[in-house]
């Protein structure tokens, strides 16, 4: 029975969390180059959404909708201990992907996570159950925790907002996102980053020739080294930003990502 399977998966994961030590991988990620998850209109998991399940004597009721969901609390993260193992939705856990675990949201749900300590934001796909520690509301993948600045301390206060992907046309990248995400910060699409200005300018010129608007090369200095980032924007809303992202993917720019500056 599928509901029983979900409960077993969640329970075993919880027991593992108590008995095994989690850790970060040896591979270090650059937070500036980690792409957000791209929201998609996906059907709910056949195995990840029982009406309720029990972990360590506590019963959790799974929500039937994520519309309008907003929550504040602490975020934590999980890494090597579960890498490659099955999540509650049936997908393999990949600590380098932008995913997360939540106790009651339908699987999958895409959420925007904001670190309330540093203001950093990221979009993740919730495809697992947890965390089952008091006060924690979301367990981030190692990649998501790195992007949000959570990996170093282990936990951080966050706000999560569900993204309404029911309005997403499967043939486009049009998606309705939380109102707060539309008004806080400039919305940009980063196409690529280079160590040489000539490479960046060449890509920017090519994009302008393909009728992309507001293409700029952003120059930053980190540890004495200059980085040249090709960006499009500012873009007026997330709906248009994901359409631009889709257009870029179609011409081979698969490393492009949506940013909130």
Tens digits of residue pLDDT in 9-34? 454 344 334 334 566 776 778 888 89
| Cα(77)–Cα(257) distance, integer angstroms | 22
The DSSP bridge pattern shows strands 70-78 and 109-115 to be: unpaired
Bridge partners (DSSP) of residue 260 are 187
Report the pLDDT value the prediction gives residue 180, as an integer from 0 to 100.
Answer: 42
Residue 6 above 50 pLDDT?
Answer: no
Do residues 84 and 93 make contact, with C-beta atoms less than 8 angstroms apart?
A: yes
- Among the ranges given (48-57, 99-108, 200-209, 237-246), the one the predictor scored with the smallest mean pLDDT: 237-246
DSSP 32: G
pLDDT grade, residue 241 (50/70/90)? Answer: confident
Q: Which two tokens stand for residue 67?
A: 């519309």
Residue 141 or residue 175, greater confidence? 141
| pLDDT tens readout for residues 75-125 | 999 988 888 899 999 999 999 899 999 999 999 999 999 999 999 999 999
pLDDT at 139 over 90: yes
DSSP summary character for residue 258: E
Give the confidence band of 185 by pLDDT, cuts at 50, 70, 90.
Answer: low
- Mean model confidence pLDDT for the chain: 83
Using CB atoms within 10 A of its CB, is residue 164 exposed (0-12), middle (13-18) or buried (19+)?
Answer: buried
> What Å distances lie between residue 161 and 105, 107, 158, CA to CA?
11, 15, 10
Residue 166 has a pLDDT of 66
3-state secondary structure of 96: coil
Cβ neighbours of 150 (radius 10 Å): 27
188, 215, 190, 218: which is closest to 204 by C-alpha? 215
User: What integer pLDDT is reported at residue 110 of this predicted model?
Assistant: 94
Please tell me the predicted confidence (pLDDT) of residue 182: 43
- Find out whether 128 and 101 touch, Cβ atoms under 8 Å: yes
Q: Specify the higher pLDDT residue, 49 or 68.
A: 49
Yes or no: say if 23 and 33 are a contact pair by the CB < 8 Å rule: no
pLDDT at 2 over 90: no
- What's the CA gap between 21 and 162, in Å, rounded? 30
Structural domains in the chain plus CATH codes:
2-166 (2.40.40.10), 185-260 (3.30.70.1070)
pTM above 0.85, yes or no: no
In 3D space, the residue among 139, 115, 135 whose CA is nearest the CA of residue 126 turns out to be 139
The DSSP secondary structure of 213-238, one letter per residue, reads SSEEEEEEEETTEEEEEEEEEEES-H
């Amino acid at each position: 029975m599928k509901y029983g399977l979900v409960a077993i998966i969640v329970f075993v994961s919880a027991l593992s969390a108590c008995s095994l030590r989690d850790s970060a991988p040896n591979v270090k990620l650059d937070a500036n180059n980690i792409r957000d998850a791209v929201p998609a209109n996906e059907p709910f998991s056949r195995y990840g959404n029982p009406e309720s399940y029990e972990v360590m004597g506590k019963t959790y009721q799974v929500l039937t909708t994520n519309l309008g969901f907003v929550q504040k609390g602490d975020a934590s993260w999980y890494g090597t201990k579960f890498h490659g193992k099955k999540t509650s939705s049936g997908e393999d856990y990949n600590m380098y992907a932008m995913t997360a675990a939540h106790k009651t949201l339908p699987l999958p749900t895409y959420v925007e996570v904001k670190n309330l300590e540093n203001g950093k934001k990221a979009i993740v796909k919730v495809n697992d159950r947890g965390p089952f520690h008091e006060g924690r509301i979301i367990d981030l993948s190692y990649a998501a925790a790195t992007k949000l600045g959570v990996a170093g301390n282990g936990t951080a206060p966050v706000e999560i907002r569900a993204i309404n992907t029911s309005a997403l046309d499967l043939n486009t990248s049009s998606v309705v996102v939380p109102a707060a995400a539309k008004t806080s910060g400039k919305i940009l699409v980063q196409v690529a980053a280079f160590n040489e200005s000539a490479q960046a300018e060449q890509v920017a010129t090519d994009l302008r020739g393909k009728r992309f608007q507001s293409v700029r090369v952003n120059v930053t200095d980190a540890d004495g080294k200059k980085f040249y980032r090709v960006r499009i924007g500012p873009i007026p809303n997330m709906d248009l930003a994901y359409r631009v992202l889709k257009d870029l993917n179609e011409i081979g720019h698969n490393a492009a990502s949506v940013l909130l500056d």
